[in-house]
Every structure is written in structure tokens, then in C-alpha cells.
Amino acid sequence: MSSERFAPLIQSNPDNEMFRFSYGEALFTEDKFEACIEHLEICVAQKNDWMIPYILLGKALIALDRKPEAVVHLETALALAKEQHHEDPEAEVTALLEDLR
């Protein structure tokens, strides 16, 4: 889904975490990594047990060659994946972290 669809929603309701996530995710899929970070960071600040924004943050930071920052978010995502029993994300994040180390 295009990020253009979500921009007006953010303007009308900037505190809505689902709008922020959808916008951040859309920006990520459009390879607008720098732009997506702000929105995904707001998501995890509002809901610190939300695993998917942490994963997307890690991937975006890897794409921007900001690997030390990516590791922090991916380690949080890994802990959440284990805690929440999400095996596929756990495997994905484990592989990402192994590639970074």
C-alpha cells in the first residue's frame, strides 16, 4: 500500500499508532528507510512490546548502514519474539543478527 495514502491520516491523527505503523511500513516497502524510522520509533515508544516495528527498524537501519543501532532494535525484537512465542520472526531476527556479527 502506498505511503501517500497514510500521510493525511497521520496529519489528522498523529497519535494513532496503527496509522504510524502503516505509514512506516509503507515507507519501508518503498525503500524510504530514513523516512520510516521516525514513525516506527513512535510505535515502539507507545507500545514497547510490539515486535514487528522493532524488526522493521532493524532492517531499515541495516539498509542505511547503521548496524550498531540495528542490533539494539533486533535484540529487542528477538527477546519479544521468544517471549511471545513467534517462531518465524525469531528465526528471521536470529539470522539477521548472525549476519551482523
User: Would the pLDDT of 1 be above 70?
Assistant: no
Residue 35, Cβ density class (10 Å: 0-12 exposed, 13-18 middle, ≥19 buried): middle
Q: Please, what are the domains in the chain?
A: 3-100 (1.25.40.10)
Nearest to 17, CA basis, from 37, 55, 45:
45
Q: Do residues 96 and 59 touch, judged by C-beta distance below 8 A?
A: yes
Nine-digit cell at 87? Answer: 517462531
- Residue 30 grid coordinates: 518503498
Residue 74 has pLDDT above 70, yes or no: yes
pTM tops 0.85: yes
pLDDT in tens, 29-65: 999 999 999 999 999 999 999 999 999 999 999 999 9
